[in-house]
A and B are shown apart, each in its own frame.
Chain A
Amino acid sequence: MSENEPLILGIETSCDETGVGLVRGHTLLADAIASSVDEHARFGGVVPEVASRAHLEAMVPTIRRACETAGVKPSDVDAIAVTSGPGLAGALLVGVAAAKGLALSLDKPLYGVNHLAAHVAVDTLEHGELPKGAVAMLVSGGHSSLLAVEDITEGVEPMGSTIDDAAGEAFDKVARVLGLPFPGGPYVDKAARDGGDRAYVTFPRGLTSQRDLERHRFDFSFSGLKTAVARWVEAKRRDGEDVPVNHVAAAFQEAVCDVLTRKAIDACKDRGYEHLLIGGGVAANSRLRQMAEERCAAAGIAVRVPRPGLCTDNGAMVAALGSELVRAGKTPSPLGLPADSSMPITTVLN
């Protein structure tokens, strides 16, 4: 079955990971990643030009590594998929140009795909066919969105998104305030797990008041939460008290995960969907996964979260979406495909 399906190579360069994945049908054959995150850590965030330079240097070695891992030659590839947006313009362009170089050289079709839709499609590699009708929650350093997905190859419908900071961005900023390294997500998660008391402080839950829900039922806001944490910590330090990093991390994380899961389940109920897909770097957070499992089980909703390695940016997710598009018989992108830094989520294929 799987061996007769086309072999798709996917390229991802929208931020600081150079990812090249190889997928056949729903089968993951290789997921090679080169990350420039260490080069950004000392600046406290991703520096676009640093990321773009790293993509250029990593591209050919990462393509080679993916092919070696999968035991295939580039000439075996049947189609090339690449993230054409949204993301950092200069970074996207390296991946798009590389994908075109491959498509030209191999004389194979090119599919310029949406990064967010790829975060949804990656779950096919772990749990097979996507359910017909699901809410997808994408939470990362650049995005926090609730999407209604009937058929990923046709498009997705945005239900809500953050009105200020992305969830992952809030993790980065709170980590900074607590003196934890960049990127903040894994360090905040670890600090919370190391004896953090979730109820030590009750931080605000953005856009959950009755009044906010009328206008922003499926939207998020994490900027106020981030400031509330910073104020609390700074006030403690000003008064010469120790800051209980583990407790603050746990309480902050609790506020983020509470809002995310509440709104995601509300979105499922609103649509009558029985499936919730979670993707993006924040989906690797242990508390979010745990809380989503518990609350979805109670609400009769099946939750699908890929393993953490597939939640963060990677090439396999792009190949996975490419695989769905090829199977659906979609028309490939032209060689003039642009890198579209603000590609709308409603566009799955450029």
Chain B
Amino acid sequence: MLLAFDTSSAAVTVALADPVSGNVLGSSTTVDALRHGELLAPAIAEVLATAGVGVKELTKIAVGTGPGPFTGLRVGLVTARTMADVLGIEVVGVCSLDILAKQSSLALPVAVATDARRKEIYWALYDGPAADGSRRRLEGPAVDKPAEVAHVLAGLPVIGRGAVLYGEVLGATATGASAGSAAGTIGAVGDEPEVVEYPSAEVLATGVVTGTLQVTAPDPLYLRRPDVTMSGGPKSVLPK
């Protein structure tokens, strides 16, 4: 059995799939940006129990590698690595933006943009879907200010949370993100906005089984260095 999960967004999403057919046997998604560490393990236990699958029946683990907020992202990665190591099974990573791109049903090239905080977005560009449903990543993943990459994303439907937050900056011709909509697509041709806000572990699981998502090592895509300031030496403590 393939166990898949992603903690790169505000959602903790878990799915279990048949390793041959890719059929999803169970899944769980909870949106709570501050409790990844508390939610993931119980969600895995529950998905396994509900599907009647024992942990020793797992044959592979797939995990979203971000980019995303570091603290939550690491919860998924360290869980995947330790579980796979002690179970003696394979673990693979998938760029979380690739999962989002695959969630779009649009038959067009798309851009994916997620919330990188600090008024920035994580983004990547994708080709239109191939016959098997896979999408080739053309650029990214990268992290930038929305205004700085608006020209790169111009004219493309934008998938993900970044579209909700920075719709106006990213595409003046946005048609999909109407006011009050939780949808994560703008600039879509047609009038049915897609709701693609968070990566789905179900899509991750089936994509890995069918080979329509590109797998990597389970390593974090941080894209930013840690915030550190070099010490300038001790400050004076004598009265001036």
Contact = CB atoms under 8 A, between A and B. Distances in A.
Contacts of A231: 237-238
Contacts of B45: 104, 335
B82 A60 contact: yes
Contact of A96 (B37, B55, B81, B231): B37
Contacts of A93: 37, 71, 74-75
B41 A52 contact: no
A230 B238 CA distance: 8
Contacts of A235: 238
B14 to A, nearest CB: 12
Task: Label chain B's interface by main secondary structure.
Answer: helix
B234 A90 contact: no
Contacts of B231: 43-45, 176
A338 B42 CA distance: 12
B56 to A, nearest CB: 9
B191 interface: no
Interface residues of B, number: 37
A338 B37 contact: yes
Interface stretch (B112-120, B136-144, B222-230): B222-230
Contacts of A49: 70, 226-228
A63 B228 contact: no
7 smallest CB-CB distances across A and B, nearest first, come from: A49-B226, A101-B82, A44-B231, A100-B41, A74-B86, A335-B41, A101-B79
Interface of B: 35, 37-42, 44-45, 55, 70-71, 74-75, 77-83, 85-87, 220, 222, 226-231, 233-234, 236-238
Interface of A: 42-45, 47, 49-50, 52-53, 55-56, 59-60, 63-64, 74-75, 89-90, 93-94, 96-98, 100-107, 173, 176-177, 227, 230-231, 234-235, 238, 334-339
Given A104-B41, A177-B234, A336-B38, 5 more contacts: A43-B231, A90-B74, A101-B79, A176-B231, A230-B237
